[in-house]
Amino acid sequence: MSCLIKYEGPQSTNPFAFKYYNPDAVVAGKPMREQLKFSLAWWHTLCADGTDMFGIGTQDKTFGGADPMEISKKRVDVGFALMEKLSIDYFCFHDRDLFPEDNLTLKEFHANLDVIVDYIEEKMKQTGKKLLWGTANCFSNPRYMNGAGTSPHPDSFAYAAAQIKKAMDITKRLGGTGYVFWGGREGYETLLNTDMKLELDNMARLLHLAVDYAEKIGFTGDLYIEPKPKEPTKHQYDFDAATVIGFLKTYGLDGKIKLNIEANHATLAGHTFQHELCVARINGAFGSIDANQGDMLLGWDTDQFPTNVYDAALCMLEVLRAGGFTNGGLNFDAKVRRASYQPEDWVAAFIAGMDTFALGLIIADRIIKDGRMDAFVAERYALWNEGIGKDITSGKATLEDLYNYAANLGTVKTVTHGGQEYLESVMNQIMFGMNGN
């Protein structure tokens, strides 16, 4: 584990070297490590053992520990060693990733959690690694079978509130710059048994309580909702970025909660990753990213390590357009496939993901510097800066004015062209370099 993964450049064939991720190289005005802000997800990297509904685990994630406390501490050791090895500066966790809740009472669970948090805090001091965001797992325990904030039973709601309070305390204590709400089972299977209005009102109540508490304890990071359209419930309330933004506005939470956009959730919602990021950005709600990818032939959340350079480039274009990350970053909410059971596979997966996003950043920067795409879009909408276009955007034109204007136009058949194929070829040219490399 110990030897550092180094940048060797695109010519290298060393499987344990970065080909594109060069942490200190400056791209778009900042070193790559600051532009990309990579983060390790505790749950996938240190806990998930390859178990799926057809088979038991294939990967030993006890790391030689014998009991829950020892295993949890070993996970901390391995997590920090892996971050060091890969030059990853951040991590993210759910409360239950740090210590298994099993059948413990809330107080017992939190007492054990405190021991691990002490241990993590010490490691953070030694290594300088940082917490990107924390969260509470309010979906795995049977008490959340009907949801947490949206459960018909107030005890589920109260228990979720307690978990969120503690996870926020830990996040604040560890200097985390974000806190995520992913509505694990906040949704429904059938309206035959569901009071949708009450469930949504209650979900907003829980979020308001959390927002107030964050303010009370002086948490200065960002709060994020992570949209996802389905899985585990058939219909998740946080369907996509647009739905969440509407929800936040309805309940007076806009401006208080931003979005954590996950690539695989975007495609499950029938959108591209870039679409979701763009919706977040233009609404002032862009916050953080869960970097992964799904499989277009599978209809579920496969959480694969991202290797699609095209998507990564369009993602980083949105990030640069948003002015880069502030409190957010790129969290690898990704797990290796069941057969990638060797620690070497795990390291190779991160190298693949990090190189993919390094390429994405380099290409996004080139797209902006090249200028052809932006110029094309500006030209395509140029008529809004003059004449009737300007009268509409400035609010001067009435419906009657537009009637009179249109009546004098005669037959309108040709308007602005799209140029999609041309732009796709520009994209390819920029991706593969002006000289074909």
Binding at 19: pick from Ca ion, ligand XLS, none (beta carbon under 5-8 Å per type):
none
Shortest approach of ligand XLS to residue 44 CB, angstroms? Answer: 8
Distance of CA 191 to the CA centre of its chain: 29
- State which residue, 319 or 359, has the beta carbon closest to ligand XLS: 319
Q: How far apart are the first and last CA of the chain?
A: 33
Q: Which one, 194 or 302, has the nearer CB to Ca ion?
A: 302
Select 82 or 136, whichever has its Cβ closest to ligand XLS.
136
Tokens 């002086």 locate to: 218
Letter for the amino acid at 343?
A: P
Nearer to ligand XLS, 94 or 172 (CB): 94
- Between CA 350 and CA 356 the distance in angstroms is 10
7/157 with CB nearer ligand XLS: 157
Q: Is the peptide bond before 232 cis (omega within 30 degrees of 0)?
A: yes
Select from ligand XLS, Ca ion, none the partner in contact with residue 332, using the beta carbon and a kind-dependent cut-off of 5 to 8 Å: none
**Min dist. Cβ of residue 52 to Ca ion (A):** 14
**Helix axis angle, 309-321 to 420-431, nearest 10°:** 100
Which one of the listed residues 97, 240, 290, 303 is annotated catalytic?
Answer: 97
Least distance to ligand XLS from the beta carbon of 357, Å?
17
The contact set with ligand XLS (CB under 6 A) reads 94, 135, 180, 182, 226, 228, 262, 290, 301, 333
* Residue 135 interacting entry, from ligand XLS, Ca ion, none, C-beta within 5 to 8 Å by type: ligand XLS
Distance CA 306, CA 41 (A): 14
Binding site residues, Ca ion, CB under 5 A: 262, 264, 290, 301, 303, 333
Cα(40)–Cα(89) distance, rounded to whole angstroms?
Answer: 8
Q: Give how far Cα 75 sits from Cα of 71, 255, 317, Å.
A: 6, 36, 35
Whole-angstrom distance, CA of residue 276 vs CA of residue 318: 10
- Amino acid found at 421: E
> Do the Cβ atoms of 333 and 291 come closer than 8 Å?
yes
Q: Which is nearer to ligand XLS, 19 or 275 (CB)?
A: 275
Q: Which of 94, 110, 271, 275 is catalytic?
A: 94
- Taking the complex as a whole, the smallest distance from the CB of residue 26 to ligand XLS amounts, in Å, to 30
Q: Residue 182 CB, nearest distance to ligand XLS (Å)?
A: 4
Our answer to whether residue 417 is catalytic in this structure is: no
Which entry of ligand XLS, Ca ion, none binds 180, CB below 5 to 8 A by partner kind? Answer: ligand XLS
| Residue 179 partner contact from ligand XLS, Ca ion, none using kind-dependent CB cut-offs of 5 to 8 Å | none
Q: How far is the CB of 227 from ligand XLS (least distance, A)?
A: 10
b (16+ CB within 10 A) / e for 119-154? bbeebbeeeebbbbbbbbbbbebeebebbbbbbeee
Q: Cα separation of 69 and 113, whole Å?
A: 9
> Which ranges constitute the DSSP H helices of 2-133?
32-36, 42, 68-86, 95-98, 106-127
Give the residue nearest to ligand XLS (CB): 182
391 noted as active-site residue: no
Cα 382 to Cα 379: distance, rounded to the nearest angstrom: 5
Q: Which residues are catalytic?
A: 94, 97
